[in-house]
Structure formats: C-alpha cells, structure tokens
C-alpha cells in the first residue's frame, strides 16, 4: 500500500495528496511533525535522506521530491493526468516545471516571509519578500494568459500541471497575496477547489492553518 508522508501546511505534500486523490489511489497519510523535528529522525531519514516532506513508500519503493512523485504515481496508474503523447506530455512538463521553478519559487519567498517566518519568530527578509512580489508580477500574467486560452493550464484536460499550481496557490489568501486581477486564474482555481480530489485533502488551506495553530496553542498550554 502507498504511504504518503507530509505536513498539512506543506504545499508540495498537499500536491501529492491531490494527485493521489485525483488518480484514485488508496493510501495511508502519515503526518510528520516538522516543528517537533520528526523529519530529522533516523526512521524518516531512512525514507528521505534529505529530511523533507513529502516522501512516499510504495510497497518498499521510497521516493522524495513532489514533482517526481506525482509523475511516478500517474505513470504507474496510467492516469491521463500525465498524458503519454510526446508533445502532450512535453506541454505538461513545461508548465509543471515553470510552475515549480518560477511561480512556486516566487510564491515561496512571499509566503515564507509573511506567514512562516512570523509563526517561527524569525525576522522577515524584506529583500526576499520584495523580490518574490516582483517576480509574481512578472510570472502570474503568463499563467493567466494561458488560462484565458484554455480551461486548464496545459489544454482541455486536467493534468499534473494544474495539480501543481493549485497546491502552490493554496496559501495565497493567508499570506495576503492578491491574485484577484488575474481573472482566469481565479476562475480556474475556484472551480478546482470544489473538486473532490481537493476537498478530500482539506476544505481550504486556511482551515488547515487554523487547525494547526489551534493544536500549537493547545500544546503550549499543556
């Protein structure tokens, strides 16, 4: 049986769950408490030697890196989320890589400095924050333009490229990232967040964050 190791606030980990849900894979989800350092314990390092989530154990076959994982899961299950045709797959790979390496990298600078640094009492890196916002101003119109032409990011069908971007955009509201000017991103995102593969993971990212904060407060009182 497939086991997914993740954290509820990790967009890459949630991406793997979105993909598994959309493919229709039964799996066990094991939460790794990053705050408690569970990702650095020997038993987890045996699964992922770099000590990060997500990771999977598929009947003894262990993997890390979210994009590699979702490609593997889709290929193993012959899912149309990762099409077989050379050019169709190339388009999915193009937007999957652009999403992670450019949009995701910019989002992570903003999300880390507006959300996670304050949660961890770490000083905000204003230069990094502003750089992230600058790159979002550059890259989001490209995504919006693609979605103005297509229902989904790689064409007429849902693919791994959509799964990836959907997870990356999840913390936007809680990190005060305004995507409302990108009307087609908003339209696409609102539709996908109603899909069962998403709601089976969480109602929305903000709810997961509130649950996590409540657990932290309860832990501090005990």
Q: How many helices (H) and strands (E) does the chain have?
A: 11, 4
pLDDT of 69 above 90: yes
How do 61-64 and 27-31 pair as beta strands?
A: unpaired
218 lies in some domain: no
* Residue 102 vs residues 98, 107, 117, 152, 166: alpha-carbon distances, Å: 5, 9, 21, 19, 14
Residue 178 DSSP label: -
- What CATH number did the domain enclosing 91 receive? 1.20.1050.10
> Which residues are the active-site residues?
10
| Residue ranges making up the domain that contains 157 | 86-199
Helix (H) or strand (E) holding 198: helix 196-199
65 and 137 together in one domain:
no
Rounded to an integer, what distance in angstroms lies between the CA atom of residue 66 and that of residue 89?
17
Tens-place pLDDT, residues 12-29:
999 999 999 999 999 999
pLDDT of 219 above 70: no
Rounded to an integer, what distance in angstroms lies between the CA atom of residue 16 and that of residue 23?
11
126 and 194 together in one domain:
yes
68 and 103 together in one domain:
no
pLDDT of 210 above 90: no
pLDDT of 215 above 70: no
193 lies in some domain: yes
């Amino acid at each position: 049986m497939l086991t997914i190791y993740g954290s509820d606030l990790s967009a890459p980990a949630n991406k793997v769950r979105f993909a598994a849900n959309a493919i229709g894979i039964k799996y066990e989800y094991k939460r790794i408490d990053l705050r408690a350092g569970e990702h650095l314990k020997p038993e987890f390092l045996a699964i992922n030697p770099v000590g990060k989530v997500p990771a999977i154990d598929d009947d003894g076959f262990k993997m890390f890196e979210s994009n590699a994982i979702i490609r593997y899961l889709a290929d193993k299950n012959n899912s149309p989320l990762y099409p077989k045709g050379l050019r169709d797959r190339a388009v999915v790979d193009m937007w999957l890589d652009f999403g992670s390496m450019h949009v995701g990298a910019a989002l992570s600078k903003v999300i880390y400095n507006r959300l996670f640094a304050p949660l961890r009492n770490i000083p905000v890196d204003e230069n990094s924050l502003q750089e992230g916002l600058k790159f979002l101003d550059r890259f989001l119109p490209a995504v919006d333009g693609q979605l103005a032409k297509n229902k989904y990011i790689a064409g007429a069908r849902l693919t791994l490229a959509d799964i990836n971007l959907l997870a990356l955009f999840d913390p936007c509201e809680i990190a005060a990232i305004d995507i409302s000017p990108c009307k087609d991103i908003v339209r696409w995102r609102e539709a996908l967040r109603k899909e069962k593969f998403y709601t089976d993971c969480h109602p929305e990212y903000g709810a997961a964050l509130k649950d996590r904060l409540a657990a932290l407060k309860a832990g501090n009182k005990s």
